[in-house]
Amino acid sequence: MHAPEGTERLEDDAADGTQGGGAQSALWPVPPRAQRHRYLEVVKREDVEAAAIRLGRPLSDRDHRTAAMAIIEHLRKVGGWRELPQVPADWRIRLDLLEQAYPNFRDYIAFLRTTYAIAEREGKSPHPEPVFLLGEPGIGKSLIMQDVARLLLSGTLSPSSSSSFTAPLTLRMEVAQASGDLVGVSDFWGNSKPGLLFERLIMGPYASPIVVLEELSRCAGSREYEPISPLYSLLDPESARMFSDLAHPWLIMDASAVIFIACGNDDTLPAAIRSRMKVIEVPNPTREQCRTIARELWRRLCRELPQATASLVLTDDALDVLSTAAPRVMRKALREAVGRVVYECRTQIGADDIRACGLEALSTSRRIGFV
């Protein structure tokens, strides 16, 4: 990560008392005052330099000191400010298109409209409160969460940033064994490792990384090393301002701008977690809405595979068959159907091509309850 373009640099002076452990004079970039509202100070200079002084004293754990000083030197170079997403000028159009693509998520998109409307009026960064999308498996929750994540980062100043920092941070909570993925592993266990939030906030350019929590409700019953335990503090804005990674507890970070989007198939969340999130129930799509979703998935596949789909036509009969399935099944069937048609040098994807992908068997095992 490089310092934000156009940043100012604050030189240390002797009165600061910020030199610790023999470090040379540190340079802490800060955004220009005119643009500072577009940033959040994720870590404070005085806190880091105070830690540097402490770490400069003899310690028994040299490896820990070396790792910590490397982080401090990194922060001296790039500063403690991270960029906040802004409201894109075309946000209304984007949300309208999102509703067309996901008609059964109308309530969720209406909620996002209120977030953007307030942010636009106030001239602030859009920051939707944590959301839990509750609905049947396969109805498009994972798909829309990825699209919303891209929308929320679309108004940043650094469109050329590495995709490793612009992509949403997705955690499959049903297979999570502990909280270490998100908030790190403590030195106590002998395999200390920082978590993903630390990597995004300290090494990345943004103060608002987007955390997508898949199948959150399926890990709610865990007891040993609860994967959801960090959420009790991270979902609360006040406590999130004092976040620290378990691998680097000496460094206090402001994680209050992190955006959380979660989904699940049942409402078994602990009451304390549920109270920190806006729960939105997502209905199963109607038959006509399934046709709309199928068209959108086809458009996406055409963008993903432009050469393979260049001369292909998806027939109405194929759409009819697709609309009997859940979006997750549609996507798999469409991709396989493209391969079949390309292999046979044809130009139309028909109903039989969709059926040949085992769509009916997949749909029968878990058919959408049309409304």
Which pLDDT value is given to residue 54? 85
- Out of 305-319, 320-334, 348-362, least confident range: 348-362
More confident residue, 167 or 125: 125
Query: Other C-beta atoms within 10 Å of 178: how many?
Result: 15
Q: Is 137 helix (H, G, I), strand (E, B) or coil?
A: coil
Beta carbons of 173 and 215 less than 8 angstroms apart: yes
Average pLDDT for 41-48: 96
- Out of 129-133, 221-225, 325-329, least confident range: 221-225
Q: Is the pLDDT of residue 11 over 60?
A: no
More confident residue, 134 or 358: 134
**Gap between the Cα atoms of 64 and 313, Å rounded:** 59
Which pLDDT value is given to residue 122? 96
Q: Is the pLDDT of residue 371 over 60?
A: no
**Gap between the Cα atoms of 368 and 326, Å rounded:** 6
Strand residues in 64-141 grouped as ranges (E): 81-83, 131-134
Q: Is the pLDDT of residue 160 over 50?
A: no
**Cα distances (angstroms) measured from residue 192 to each of 189, 199, 248:** 7, 14, 9
Q: Strand pairing of 348-349 and 243-245?
A: unpaired
Which sequence spans correspond to the domains of the chain?
8-80, 91-281, 287-365
**Cα distances (angstroms) measured from residue 240 to each of 47, 197, 208, 259, 263:** 17, 12, 12, 11, 21
pLDDT-derived band at 147 (thresholds 50, 70, 90) equals confident
pLDDT-derived band at 158 (thresholds 50, 70, 90) equals low
From the number of C-beta atoms within 10 Å of its C-beta (0-12, 13-18, 19+), residue 207 rates as buried
By percentage, how much of the chain surpasses pLDDT 70? 81
Q: Per mean pLDDT, which of 10-14, 147-151, 362-366 is the most reliable?
A: 147-151
Which pLDDT value is given to residue 172? 80
The architecture CATH gives domain 287-365: Orthogonal Bundle (1.10)
Average pLDDT for 123-135: 94
Q: Per mean pLDDT, which of 49-53, 71-75, 183-187 is the most reliable?
A: 71-75
**Gap between the Cα atoms of 65 and 58, Å rounded:** 9
Among left, alpha and beta (phi > 0; psi -120 to 50; other), residue 5 is beta
Q: Is the pLDDT of residue 362 over 70?
A: no
Work out the angle at residue 37's Cα, subtended by the Cα atoms of residues 33 and 43, and round it to the nearest 5 degrees: 90
Q: Is 314 helix (H, G, I), strand (E, B) or coil?
A: strand
By percentage, how much of the chain surpasses pLDDT 90? 53
The residues with which 280 forms a beta bridge, in sequence order, are 133
Q: Per mean pLDDT, which of 157-166, 189-198, 262-271 is the most reliable?
A: 262-271
- Superfamily classification of domain 91-281: P-loop containing nucleotide triphosphate hydrolases (3.40.50.300)
Q: Is the pLDDT of residue 124 over 50?
A: yes
Over the stretch 106-119, which tens digit does the pLDDT of each residue have?
999 999 999 999 99
Tokens 């409700």 sit on residue: 217
Which pLDDT value is given to residue 127? 94
Which pLDDT value is given to residue 145? 86
More confident residue, 228 or 291: 291
Q: How many CA atoms lie within 13 A of 57 on its CB side?
A: 4
Q: Is 235 helix (H, G, I), strand (E, B) or coil?
A: coil
Which pLDDT value is given to residue 133? 95
More confident residue, 197 or 163: 197
User: What are the structure tokens assigned to 298, written together?
Assistant: 């086809």
Q: Per mean pLDDT, which of 32-41, 155-164, 212-221 is the most reliable?
A: 32-41
Which residues neighbour 73 within 8 Å (Cβ) at sequence distance 6 or greater?
Answer: 23
pLDDT-derived band at 176 (thresholds 50, 70, 90) equals low
Over the stretch 287-325, which tens digit does the pLDDT of each residue have?
889 999 999 899 989 999 999 999 999 999 999 999 988
User: What are the structure tokens assigned to 365, written together?
Assistant: 């095992």
User: What are the structure tokens assigned to 17, written together?
Assistant: 């008392």
